[in-house]
Amino acid sequence: AGGGPLLPDSVLYEIFLYLDHVDVLSVGLVCQQWHAVARDEFLWKELFYRYYRISRELLPSTYAPVLCPCTAAAVSWYDEFQRLYDTIPCVEVQALKEHNDQVLHLSFSHSGCLFASCSKDCTVKIWSNELDISLQHSSNMRPYNWSYTQFSQFNSDDSLLLVSGVFVGPHNSSSGEIAVISMENFTLLSRVRNKPYDVFGCWLNETNLISGNLHRIGRITSCSVLWLNNAFQGIESENVNVVKRLFKIQNLNASTIRTVMVADCSRYDCPDLLLDYEEQLAASSCPVFDLGSDSEEEEARAKQASAPAAGAGLQQLFGDLLEGVRPELSEAELESRVAELFLRSRTKPPEQGLLPTDSSTKAKYLIFTTGCLTYSPHQIGIKRILPHQMTTAGPVLGEERRSDEFFDSLDHVIDIHGHIIGMGLSPDHRYLYVNSRAWPRDCVISDPMQPPPIAEEIDLHVFDLKTMKEVKRALRAHRAYTPNEECFFIFLDVSRDFVASGAEDRHGYIWDRHYNICLAKLQHDNVVNSVAFSPVEQELLLTASDDSTIKVWRSPRTLRRQQASRPQPRKLLFSWLMNQKS
């Protein structure tokens, strides 16, 4: 009656804590006092943690509630709640059904205007990304003796498209091949052999791409060679190289190099992922999965010192074999022993100073899956590519090598202790996201052809390529069911705020990168093989599935804006007059 509030703010606050976010927004419309309490930052912090089920340990209570520390662009807990609620691309707006078999991979152009899709129907299709997505071109690769297309990537200026597929060669032996397509007129410019096919291939720069080759040395020992190829094979002068060997790496225990990608160190200046408070304090103590020593100089000295001993051991082993003295080893164990001794005595030492500094910001990392215990990929190898190696100019076989530097060593190895089934880089190329299916904790691998059983639950790891450390707790929600021998790659993608992945459980998944929470499940009728965010609009996501469809997902906010921008039909004056009379 006196015009004052009937309840103090503190009592309203306690009542509002029992409401969900929809009801809090509704009661905020009652009056100015209720509106002010309904926008209280402490209230929205509680709603945020409760609704998204975020661990209370993620942020310390000493943080001021008026600023969300997990995202650089956050202004308030209310805005952060709205961001996660309203900007997730979780609403299906279109289903593209032009493929007639399983869709395996999706990739956007850097401008976001186009995207490409690869499929078991052996076509690569190029789509125009407009309000309603439409097919622009389709290339059938069967005339080139391909079995299917599996991967694509636009070069940095979107003028060329790399397409990787399975090439059916003589005697029904499948290897890979890479084709380069011009985006100006969709003509095929060149084709490059790629073995094994799951190397996929990738661009190093605008005109040069990386492919692989595999040479068998023994039953479980091989050598992977990575080649730098010019996209334009029709060079006018016969004196200009179109190919050059980058690295030659020995593989042990039936392992091979697969899934190559390039990380650009020059983008590290503006990281787009902030560690939470506890991780910032413990950044120096995060677990490092590195097979080498803590000091690169010590590691290099140790390798140099062990090389003569390894050479002597190799000579001793060969001498014993020639004299008929055979060690008590199986054939596979003997081959592995010889390969290890040869590798240690004939390998070029790793490059010093892998971590990027001001003087090496032009360097790039070559990242790939590999292994040392079994054929299933369980390690990530990292090799630095120096500026002078980024062109096909120079000797075709690369730098001259001494007899004791027959193989290249890896600069860094990350052991995942599980089967790697997917990798993706953050937009700034600083963070590497890895899908893996874990092995049993204390498993022992005695036969490289019999890897351990793998978990159905997929772990999504996050590694900082600047520190080479795992910096986030593994993300979980998605699952896979195929055994080791049938396990296949599931492509993931990373945007500024989100990470998405496919899964074998007929869903795509979206997580928030900052809070480690699963935000959405995107349904298909079969396995989801690939996902792709638009590089210019993270509220647009594509998913590709074994159900032969590509689904287009947009955020609720984007849909509201599109509907508001559509012209509304005008009411005719005559209709208005008739309504007035009635």
Torsion, Cα 253 244 402 254, to 10 degrees, reads: 0
Average pLDDT, rounded, for the chain: 82
Q: Where do the CATH 2.130.10.10 domains begin and end in the chain?
A: 88-268+361-565
- What per-residue confidence (pLDDT) applies to 406? 77
Task: Report which DSSP code applies to 195.
Answer: S
Mean pLDDT on 502-515: 94
Higher pLDDT, 23 or 4: 23
Could you please state the CATH topology (level 3) that the domain comprising 88-268+361-565 is classified under: Methylamine Dehydrogenase; Chain H (2.130.10)
Whether 283 shows a pLDDT value over 60: the answer reads: no
pLDDT at 275: 45
Confidence at 389, pLDDT banded by 50, 70, 90: confident
> Can you give the pLDDT at residue 464?
93
Q: Starting from the edge strand earliest in sequence, which strands make up the sheet with 469-475, in order?
A: 418-425, 431-438, 458-464, 469-475
Query: Look-up: residue for tokens 């594509």?
Result: 542
Residue 287 has pLDDT above 50, yes or no: no
* CA pair distance 373, 452, nearest whole angstrom: 10
19 alpha-carbon distance from chain centroid: 39
The 10s digit of each residue's pLDDT in 84-137 is: 999 999 999 999 999 999 999 999 999 999 999 999 999 999 999 988 899 999
pLDDT score of 420 more than 50 = yes
Instruction: Using pLDDT thresholds of 50, 70 and 90, give the confidence band for residue 176.
Output: very high
pLDDT of residue 380: 97
For residue range 34-50, list pLDDT tens digits in order. 999 999 999 999 999 99
pLDDT, greater one: 286 or 405: 405
Contact between 37 and 78 under an 8 Å Cβ cutoff? The reply is no
Upstream peptide bond of 377 is cis (omega within 30 degrees of 0): no
Q: What is the pLDDT averaged over residues 549-567?
A: 91
Tell me what pLDDT residue 505 has.
95
Q: List Cα–Cα distances, 294 to 100, 257, 414, 476, in angstroms.
A: 51, 24, 13, 30
Residue with tokens 């390690």: 379
Is 236 in a helix, a strand, or coil? Answer: coil
- Give pLDDT, residue 327: 61
Q: What is the pLDDT of residues 191-230, one digit of tens each?
A: 999 999 999 999 999 999 999 999 988 888 899 999 999 9
Segment 264-272 mean pLDDT: 65
| CATH annotation of 1-53+73-87 | 1.20.1280.50
Whole-number pLDDT of residue 64: 39
Q: Which two tokens stand for residue 89?
A: 């691309």
- The pair of structure tokens assigned to 381 is 């190898």
> What was the pLDDT predicted at 23?
96
CA proximity to 344, closest of 314, 382, 385: 314
Extract the tokens encoding 64. Answer: 């001021």
Give the residue with greater pLDDT, 132 vs 154: 154
Q: In the prediction, which pLDDT does 569 show?
A: 56
CATH 1.20.1280.50 region(s) of the chain?
1-53+73-87
State residue 360's pLDDT score. 46
Query: Which is more confidently placed, 62 or 486?
Result: 486
Angstrom distance (rounded) from CA 193 to CA 342: 28
User: 566 pLDDT exceeds 80?
Assistant: no
Predicted confidence (pLDDT) at residue 343 exceeds the cutoff of 70: no
What per-residue confidence (pLDDT) applies to 484? 79
**Quick one: average pLDDT of 323-345?**
61
In this structure, of 58-72, 212-226, 364-378, 531-545, the range with the lowest mean pLDDT score is 58-72
For the CA atoms of 544, 523, 549, 90, the dihedral, rounded to the nearest 10 degrees, stands at: -70
Q: What Rg, from alpha-carbon coordinates, does the chain have?
A: 28
For residue 363, pLDDT over 90 is answered with no
Given a contact cutoff of 8 angstroms between Cβ atoms, the answer to whether 500 and 508 are in contact is yes
The sign of the torsion formed by the CA atoms of 50, 51, 53, 59 equals negative
Give the pLDDT score at 67. 42
Express each pLDDT in 448-479 by its tens digit.
Answer: 999 999 999 999 999 999 889 998 788 888 98
Whether pLDDT at 572 is above 90: no
